[in-house]
Amino acid sequence: MANIEKHLPGEFCWIELGTTDQAAARDFYGQIFGWTFKDTPIGPNDFYTIFQLQGRNTAAAYTLRHEETSRGIPSHWNLYVAVESADATAAQATRLGGKVLAPPFDVFDAGRMANLQDPTGAKFSLWQAKKNVGTGITGLDGTLCWADLNTPDQARAGQFYSDLFGWQIVKEDEDAAHNYWHIKNGEEFIGGIPPAAYRQPGAAAHWLAYFTVSDCDATSAKAKKLGAQLHMPPTDFEDVGRMSVIADPQGATFAIFKVAARRAGVS
């Protein structure tokens, strides 16, 4: 376990749930991850939920607006990437072929953000921290640990993010069936881009967030009992770990991951 005081540019620094039932989501994630929560009013009968572990921020949730649900936007998790300048990065994203869905704006005194879409269709956000650095803890059950970009065009997406954030795209295996590319930010591996063959047919490009767990089977079983669906039951990946892909009761998809003993340094 480690507390996070500042995120380096290019790191995944925040994760936010847009949901059709905020109260139900608070209860669900509280039960499977042990998250506590604080609600902050943001309007009449409206509030923003900050999830916490040991008093440190882990994630957030809000209720999708009518204008979002009327456009068919489902419950979903959204990832934020730390940047030094939301304005400069949003402008660069446009030059690189991405779209700015919401231009940079201030979130009170917490920070400055923008919502973007990469050239292959996956949505993500930028976060220029001021008073709120984002996630404040790592290494515990229920903390963000990884993210995969599911995209129909590995090469186009990889080039875009490399040019935008300075990420290194590490291609360890060029075999088409196992061509998983790792994303490295500075000295840290933070995510990956699976080959297009792994994508669910017809699924839009998207980021999939992973949360650390110490027991993948027990957590997925509890999630299912609480009304979640298992898109992928607990599955072992040799020398990597055990993982499961889950849709919460409102349909937002995420993954859980237990690192393999060998990778964790356990003999």
What proportion of the chain, given as a percentage, has pLDDT over 70?
95
Q: Is residue 22 part of a domain?
A: yes
Choose one of 102, 129, 156: the last residue of a domain.
Answer: 129
Residue 162 and residue 123 share a domain: no
Q: Is residue 71 part of a domain?
A: yes
pLDDT at 76 exceeding the cut of 90: yes
Residue 103 and residue 202 share a domain: no
Looking at every residue in the chain, the average pLDDT score rounds to: 93
Q: Which residue range forms the structural domain that includes residue 157?
A: 142-259
CB atoms within 10 A of CB 81: 26
Cβ atoms of 229 and 215 closer than 8 Å: no
Residue 250 and residue 148 share a domain: yes
Which range (72-76, 173-177, 201-205, 225-229) has the least confidence? 173-177
Over residues 10-30, the mean pLDDT reads: 98
Residue 85 and residue 183 share a domain: no
pLDDT digits (tens, 9 = 90+) for 121-159: 999 999 999 999 999 999 999 999 999 999 999 999 999
CATH number of the structural domain spanning residue 203: 3.10.180.10
Tell me the C-alpha distance between 69 and 54, whole Å. 33
Q: Is residue 47 part of a domain?
A: yes
* Count of domains observed in the chain: 2
Over residues 197-224, the mean pLDDT reads: 92
pLDDT at 12 exceeding the cut of 60: yes
Choose one of 98, 129, 160: the last residue of a domain.
Answer: 129
Choose one of 129, 151, 171: the last residue of a domain.
Answer: 129
Evaluate if pTM is beyond 0.75: yes
Three-state SS annotation for the chain: CEECCCCCCCCEEEEEEEECCHHHHHHHHHHHHCCEEEEEEEECCEEEEEEEECCEEEEEEEECCHHHHCCCCCCEEEEEEECCCHHHHHHHHHHCCCEEEEEEEEECCCEEEEEEECCCCCEEEEEEECCCCCCCEECCCCCEEEEEEECCCHHHHHHHHHHHHCCEEEECCCCHHHCCEEEEECCEEEEEECCHHHCCCCCCCEEEEEEECCCHHHHHHHHHHCCCEEEEEEEEECCCEEEEEEECCCCCEEEEEEECCCCCCCC
**So what's the pLDDT on residue 28?**
98
